[in-house]
């Protein structure tokens, strides 16, 4: 699916931010992913052919049930990866790094990263001095 996961994730996040308002304009998607409008349009058309979204020229993209389910899973991975890159690796651009990898990481890897984050939080909490009340 090449960079299709990023497209689905951008549309999913934009829909959530707009309180479910769709369609999402292709220009917005192109800008968010730093792609040309023609590349974004071609990719949206390809995703429509694969059943992930409905695309109407000059209006935008609306996720299908299949697309929404896939994008929700990608969003969970994105959130975990962003937190890992920010909190553990302390990368300067954790969200951009997460966006690049979100479609390349399996659910097993995401679960392990989430466990690592929880272990790191627990270890940090264990090292804190008890609060004085």
Contacts 24+ apart (CB under 8 A), 48-55: 50/4, 52/4, 52/8, 53/8, 53/11, 54/23, 55/23, 55/26
In this prediction, residue 129 carries a pLDDT of 55
Are 8 and 59 in a shared domain?
yes
In this prediction, residue 1 carries a pLDDT of 43
Are 120 and 86 in a shared domain?
yes
* 17 part of a folded domain: yes
Confidence at 118, pLDDT banded by 50, 70, 90: confident
Q: Residues of the chain with pLDDT > 70: what percent?
A: 88
In this prediction, residue 11 carries a pLDDT of 96
Q: What is the mean pLDDT of residues 2-21?
A: 89
Rounded Cα distance between 25 and 61, Å, is: 7
**In which region does residue 6 sit, left (phi positive, over 0), alpha (psi from -120 to 50) or beta (all else)?**
alpha
* 14 part of a folded domain: yes
Query: What's the pLDDT tens digit per position in 55-91?
Result: 998 889 999 999 999 999 999 999 999 998 998 889 9
């Amino acid at each position: 699916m090449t960079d299709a996961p990023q497209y689905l994730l951008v549309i999913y996040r934009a829909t959530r931010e707009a309180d479910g308002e769709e369609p999402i304009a292709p220009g917005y998607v192109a800008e968010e992913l730093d792609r040309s409008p023609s590349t974004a349009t071609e990719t949206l058309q390809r995703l429509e052919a694969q059943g992930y979204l409905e695309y109407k020229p000059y209006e935008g993209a609306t996720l299908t049930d299949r697309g929404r389910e896939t994008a929700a899973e990608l969003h969970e991975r994105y959130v975990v990866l962003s937190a890992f890159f920010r909190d553990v690796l302390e990368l300067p651009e954790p969200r951009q790094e997460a966006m690049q990898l979100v479609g390349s990481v399996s659910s097993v890897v995401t679960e392990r990263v989430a466990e690592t984050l929880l272990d790191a939080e627990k270890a940090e909490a264990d090292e804190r001095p008890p609060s004085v009340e």
